[in-house]
Every structure is written in C-alpha cells, then in structure tokens.
Chains A and B, each alone.
Chain A
Amino acid sequence: MAKLILNRFFLGVLTLFAVSVLIFVCTEILPGDVASAVLGQGATPEALAVFRKELGYDIPSYMRYWNWLVGVLHGDLGIALTNKRVIVDEVLPRLGNTMFLAGYAALIAIPVAVGLGVFSAINEGKISDKLANILSLIAISFPEFFIAYLLIIFLSVNVDWFPSLSTVFKGMPFSERVYQTTLPAITLTLLVAAHMLRMTRSSVLSVMSTPYIEMAFLKGAKRGRVITRHALPNAAAPIITVIALNLAYLVVGVVVIEAVFVYPGLGQLMVDAVSKRDVPVIQACGLVFAMVFVLLNTVADILVILVNPRLRHKR
C-alpha cells in the first residue's frame, strides 16, 4: 500500500522533470527574444546587444538549463529579465490569488455538482433530472468569456450586485476579497460543474445495474438510500478523477476569466511574460502549473486506490 503510493509520487516527480525539459525547450524556440520585445520601439541594434549581454544570453542553452534546474531545486526561480524582480516573490502572491479563486469556485462547484449528480441519478428520467442535464449542457457549451460577460451584464451592470472588476490586492480584507471574486467564482462553477455533474450521474447509474444493488433493493431499501449508501462509494473513482481534472482546470485554465475580470492570477502573469518574452517567468509559471496538475492527479490516483480496495492488490 505504502509502496504503491510512493510509486505514484515517484512517477509524479519524474513527470515534472520531463515537463521541465519540455518547458525549457519550448521557451527556447519561441520566436523573437526578450530584448527586442522589451525595448520595443527603442530597440536599436546597439541597445539590443547591451541588453542581451546583460541577460546572459551568451552562454549555451544546455548550461542555462542546468543552472535553471539547480536553481529551481533550491527554490530559486531566478530573476525576471524585464524588471529584475525575484520571480518567486512575483509568483507566490499570484499563485495564492489563483488558488483562492480556484478554491472558492471548487467550494461551490463540487458540492453543487456532486449533489445535483446524485439527485439526478435518484430521479433518473424525471423532469428534474432532464432539467439538470439540459442546464448543465447549456453551461458547458458556451465559451467561458461569454458566460462571464452575461454574468457581468446581469449581475453587475443591470443590478449592481457584484463588481465587474475583481482586482484583489495584498491587505484586502477577507470578506472584501470574497465579495470581489464572487462573479469569477460563479463563472468558473458554471464551467466545471456540468462536467462533474454528468460524470457523477452516469457513474452512479452504471453501478445501479450491478447485482449487489439489486440485492439492496430486494431487501427493501429505498432508492435514495441505495444510491447514497451502496452505489455512491463504489462510483467514487471516476468522480474523484473528474473532480481532480476540473480542479486542475480551475488553476491552470482560467487565463480568459482572469483577463475578463482583471484578476491578478498566475495565468495573467504568464501571458504578460509571454508577450515580453520574459523566459524565466514563463518557465516558472509553466513549472508551477505542471506541479499543480501533477500533484492533483497524483492525489486523485491515490484517493482512488484508497476508496477502491480492489486496486490495492495485483491480480
């Protein structure tokens, strides 16, 4: 058991290493370079040469990768090329913001989606089941910025309940932060809930056709009880996986939402860095995103093993 979990973690670390190589190679082949992107109109060949030298672009790339990797392992993500700030100091507050929003959205989305999924399964075929299905399909079909703009029009422009800008900053009171981020959190909920709801519903229903469920019915249990006590625990594995995937999306896939609500998350930082070709920042963001993704998936794998005893033993 412990060995299995350790194994998973080891695989996660290996994946991260592979990703770090990929990130480095990909940023190396980005067209254009930081010097001309930063200097813009002022990029005379002379200024470019001065800047490039300053950036250490005169050493070979495998050396730069090695230096970078050693730095990362020591918790040092380097210095931003453009404004000379320590990248860790830039990334951490942004990551905190991103996690806050993702956590907020997950807090709404997971109970709502799983609850509604179970509810749909209990009421399979009834009007409430169909309604939940249709609504979730609608929500999942719209592009995210469209949902965001709809919410802004209705809840921000028309009735003025929530601000359309979600600029959070250090020192903002917690309650204010929650209020400011409500609209993006609702948008994200709408985006991910449908996926989880449908997965919950279908995996519960697929368990429903097994013999032991039939047995439960035969001994006289009500449908609701059969589903929550007997079916749900055995349907948990795919639900956990889909929740993990959606949580990962909440962290790494919300760039558009961040732009629409002007939310200072990690995605926005990465977009800024890409447009300025600030390679160390791009690499840092990419690595953090990869870590979140790998970590969530590893945790999901382990949880699945825990809830399903059959997976603990080799057949």
Chain B
Amino acid sequence: MPMNDIHPESSIILDRRQLITGAAAFGLSATFGAMPAMAQGAPKKGGTLRMGVEGGSASDSFDPRTYADSVMINISLMLWNNLVEVADNGDATGELFENWEVKPGAADWTFNIRKGITFASGKTLDADDVIYSINMHRGETKSPAKALLADIKEIKKISPTQIQILMTNGNLDLPYNLSDYHIIVVPNGTTDFSKPDGTGAYLLEEFQAGVRATFKRKPGNYWKPNRGNFDRVELRYIGDAAARTQALVTGQVDVINRVDPKTAGLLAKSKGIKLSRTPGAGNRFAFVAHTDKSPFSNPDLMMALKFGIDRKKIVDNVFSGYASIGNDHTVGAKMKYYDPKQKLHAYDPDKAKFFFKKANIAGPVELQVSEGAFSGATDSGQVFQESLSKAGIQLDLKRVSGDGYWDNVWLKQPFCAVYWGNRPTIDNQLTSTFKANTTWNDTHFNNPEFEKLLVAARVELDQPKRAQMYARCQELISENAGMVCFAVQDYIDAYNTKLGGLTVSGRYDLADDRIAEKGWFI
C-alpha cells in the first residue's frame, strides 16, 4: 500500500554500475565527458546547496514517528544520524553503530556504538541514547517503524558503547530494519523534537513546515570524513512538478527530486543539467485480486490476466519509459536477493486466450481504478483493457474517486489498483504484502510453502541458500498470487552539473536522501 513517495526517471542517466560497465566497454576517456557528477575527485567544502523537494506539507514535524515522505527524511538526515546506513551497493554498513555481531539463529545481536560522537548540545553519544531512540518506535506508539522492530524482545545495555538485542524470532535483516529512516538517534529522554539536537552534519537555522528549511554546517569536523561539505543548505518545498523543473532551469535551486517522466528527456537537454535515475526503487504498480473469491479464485483466470497485460506498453506510454517491467511481485530489480532468472509473464494474447478459455468464466471482469491509487492508474487500466481485448477478454474499467480510495476501495474491492512502496529488505517487502492473514495482504495470498520459506530465510546464514529461498518465494508469488504487478517506477532527480557526489543508491532518490551530507560543489 501507499507510501507517499513516488516517481520517475530518465534514459540519459545511469547508475554507477551501468556507468562503470560503460566505461570499461568504451574506454574511460570516451565516457568521462558524459559522466554525471558522481566521482569527480575529492569533495570540496563550501557553498550553499539549494534543494527543491517534493514530498512534504505544512503538517510536517520533526518527530521521527511522523516522517512519511522525502522532505522530512532529507531534513532529518541533515540534523541526525541513523544507526545503520545502507551503502550504494545495498550493504548495511555502520553509521552510529560501528559494527555488530550476530549469533547463529539471528536472534542474539551485539552492536558496538561509535565512540567519541557528540550531539550538537555537546552531550556524548552513549548506549542510553541509542536504546531510548529505538524504544521510541516500540510499545504503544504510532511509529511506522514499529512493525520493523516487532520481533525485538529485549534491548540490554552492556556498556556505554555496546548494546545487546534479543529477538523472539531470528532475523538476519535486523541491521536493515534499523536503517529505517524513522530510527534516528536523539539524546536520551528527548520529547520535544522542535529543537533538534543531533549528531548530524548540520544545524537548523530556520524551519517553516510546507515552505522551507535552512541549515548551516556544524562548526568543527563532522565525524564522517568527506561528508557534510556545504556551508549552508536551503531546502524548499516545491510540490508542483513544473515549478520544480523551472526552479532548476532558472538556477534558483541546484537539485530537484521527482522529475516528471514526461519532461525528463527535455530537461536532460538543458545546459548544465543532468538527470540521475534510481531504477527499481520507486513504487510498484499493480492490480490486485482477491484470490479467495470467485472469479479470481480460478488460477487460470489469473494466468490469463497476467499474460494479457502489455507491460512494455504501459512502461513506455504511461510512465514514458521511466520504469522497469514488473513481474507480479513487489521485489524490485535492485533489491538484494532479487531473482533475475525468474520466468517473465510477457504479453502473449494467445496464451491469455488459452487460459481464459480454460478458466471457463462467463461475463466480463471488473477492475476498479483511480488516480487516487497512483498517478497513471487509469491509463494503465486502459492499456490493460485494450491488450486484453486482443485476447478476446472483456475488462470493465470502473473509475472511482481518489478521495478515500485507501479506505473505501483498496482491500475491500475484489480487483483494484494499488501501489506498494520500496521497503528496506526483501523480507519486509514480502512480509508486508504477502504473508497470510496480515492486514495488508491485498491479494489474500496464502501459500504454505511460501510461509515456511519466508520464516526460514530470515535466519539462513548461508548466503547462496538464502538467495535460493528468496528466489523461490518470488516464483511462488509470481505464479500463484492475485497480483498483476506490471511496473516498478524509477526515481529521477535532476541537478546542476556543478554538484558532485550525487550517487545512486538503489533505495531512495536524492542519494538515498543524503545529498546534503554526501554532495559537494565541484
């Protein structure tokens, strides 16, 4: 289900791996000129970074339990730090945790806290701060991170710089779960978040929710070498995609997020502007059917629907090519343990016809769509309708109001549009959508083999074996679940070429929401 994060990308851009492959193939010098601002030597200090960001509103607050979208995540990571950072290659690396050890069974963890880190107030970071910060998201709380930490049984302080976490069910992904953007580290006992006291690179100057926020660099050396390079950062909320684009073109901001895929190609041609594309990290767009109800309980009908949707056409036309083709599960191609070898349900009207006939269903199938589900849902539904009609299958599109869509339609109607956000781990991605009897199992998927694998994979220390288990999970969903996931959106940022350090993380846009910390002016 919905996460407020959304959007696109471009063809000009590249992630770092593609870039390196390209450089190797054509010779470094040939590619260097066209290279995005990613590896231009050592970072330099200075300058004011001006960001134009969508994904916030006048109701934003600093309380980490209310973060839901890009603006507050970016702001938060300027002022505070997480415990764990996910590196550009997808590995969980230490941030305020220096490192950790796990016992077999993945239920007993020891985390070492980085020494010599101080908050802006001068207080030294210790285990109590860390424990308090994690506990904000446990127990009676409305924190969205609560579910990620639900398996934690106990957190013990071993020393001022070491804690132990015991879990009811082992889970090797605990460090990933702790990298969640809600889990920032605040001083022990903090209840008033409006005066941020953090270990991050910047200090807050001014904050007006829904308008802008400004920051200055914290005096002295930031504890992360080569990070926190700007003298000042100014972040403006720009909700309108056209306004954001103009702001970048007219030089009023240096970087923007969520470029409209329809104009991304044009924007890339502007002088001094580059795009940065984060593929496989955006929202997963799908139509979901309740497979415990007729007619969707008929597996042949589901196969007909899966083979009868022209995914490529939707990606090209509805998302202007800034998306990758989905294969009926929510695991993105950049996610660790994604299985690139799984069978793809490519568009095949003949097969669709065959399965539909076999299903022996009378009458049309009804699909409910709304722009309230995601932007492009109606158009995607129309392409679906058209591509199904080539297989002789009639799809009735019912357009419903976007207002209250998540309350009135999603989870209630037998076949409707949905998007799922990118989750920190494959386990989380699969658990939240497909585990039997969970609130958001929007296809009512219930497969004993999958249930068993999902739990076993959480504690499987043998990497190849774990990968195999997750591959099988993806296959089981793709073949049996009631989800027609046809596209995974890319994020597109655009930035001034004077800006360096805009790495592509594969997780979130704006350099994993850390552009203010990672970037610099060349």
Contact = CB atoms under 8 A, between A and B. Distances in A.
B295 interface: no
A96 B48 CA distance: 28
A165 B2 contact: no
A264 B403 CA distance: 24
B246 to A, nearest CB: 4
A214 interface: no
Contact of A41 (B141, B239, B240, B421): B421
Interface stretch (B23-31, B59-67, B117-125, B306-314): B59-67
B165 interface: no
Contacts of A191: none
Interface stretch (B94-102, B247-255, B466-474): B247-255
A36 interface: yes
B143 interface: yes
Interface string B191-209: 0000000000000001011
Contact of B211 (A31, A264, A276): A264
A198 B209 CA distance: 41
B66 A38 contact: yes
B207 to A, nearest CB: 10
A33 B209 CA distance: 21
B59 A272 contact: yes
Interface residues of A, number: 48
A149 B242 contact: yes
A165 B238 contact: yes
Nearest to B146: A47
B91 to A, nearest CB: 24
A83 B66 CA distance: 8
Contacts, number: 134
A164 B252 contact: yes
A292 B403 CA distance: 28
Interface in B133-163: 140-147
B55 to A, nearest CB: 11
Interface stretch (A119-127, A130-138, A152-160, A298-306): A152-160
B35 interface: no
Contacts of A269: 58, 210
B406 A165 contact: no
Interface string B46-83: 00000010000111110100101000000000000000
Interface in A243-289: 259-262, 264, 268-269, 272-273, 275-276, 278, 281
Contacts of B209: 83, 85, 90
B109 to A, nearest CB: 24
B1 A41 contact: yes
B353 interface: no
A167 B211 contact: yes
Nearest to B143: A42
Contacts of A315: none
Nearest to B432: A41
Contacts of B61: 82-85
Nearest to B247: A165
A38 B404 contact: no
State the main secondary structure of chain A at its contact with B. helix
A55 B80 CA distance: 28
Nearest to A94: B58
B240 A259 contact: yes
A137 to B, nearest CB: 26
Contacts of B249: 157
Interface size band for B = 35 or more
Nearest to A149: B242
A278 B240 contact: no
A100 interface: no
A39 interface: yes
A40 interface: yes
A170 interface: yes
A32 B3 contact: no
A83 B243 contact: no
A44 B59 contact: no
A98 to B, nearest CB: 13
Nearest to B403: A31
A165 B144 contact: no
A250 B63 CA distance: 35
Given A32-B404, A272-B59, A40 B4 contact: yes
B68 A41 contact: yes
A50 B143 CA distance: 10
A45 B146 CA distance: 12
Contacts of B404: 31-32
Given A36-B406, A269-B210, A261 B59 contact: no
Given A167-B236, A276-B59, A44 B210 contact: no
B58 A90 contact: yes
Contacts of B206: 169-170
A43 B144 CA distance: 7
Contacts of B2: 40-41
Nearest to B60: A83
A54 B140 CA distance: 12
B59 A80 contact: yes
A50 B247 contact: no
Contacts of A84: 61
B190 interface: no
B46 to A, nearest CB: 23
A39 B403 contact: no
A260 B241 CA distance: 9
B258 to A, nearest CB: 14
B208 A156 contact: no
A78 interface: no
Given A170-B208, A264-B211, A82 B66 contact: yes
Interface centre among B58, B142, B147, B239 (most CB of A within 10 A): B58
Contacts of A273: 58-59
B210 A164 contact: no
B452 to A, nearest CB: 24
A9 interface: no
B40 interface: no
Contact of A83 (B59, B239, B407): B59
B411 to A, nearest CB: 11
Contact of B208 (A31, A163, A261, A264): A264
Interface in A51-86: 51, 54, 80, 82-85
B175 to A, nearest CB: 20
B408 interface: yes
Interface of B: 1-4, 52, 57-61, 63, 66, 68, 140-147, 206, 208-212, 236-240, 242-243, 246-247, 249-250, 252-253, 401, 403-404, 406-408, 421, 439
Given A33-B407, A169-B208, 11 more contacts: A36-B406, A41-B68, A82-B61, A85-B61, A156-B250, A163-B252, A165-B253, A167-B212, A169-B212, A268-B210, A281-B59
21 contacts: A31-B408, A42-B145, A42-B146, A43-B144, A44-B147, A44-B439, A45-B439, A50-B142, A82-B61, A82-B66, A84-B61, A156-B246, A157-B246, A163-B250, A164-B252, A169-B211, A170-B208, A260-B243, A269-B210, A272-B58, A272-B59
Interface of A: 30-33, 36, 38-45, 47, 50-51, 54, 80, 82-85, 90, 93, 149, 152, 156-157, 160, 163-165, 167, 169-170, 259-262, 264, 268-269, 272-273, 275-276, 278, 281
Pick the 8 closest A-B CB pairs, nearest first.
A42-B144, A31-B404, A82-B59, A83-B61, A272-B57, A272-B58, A264-B211, A41-B3
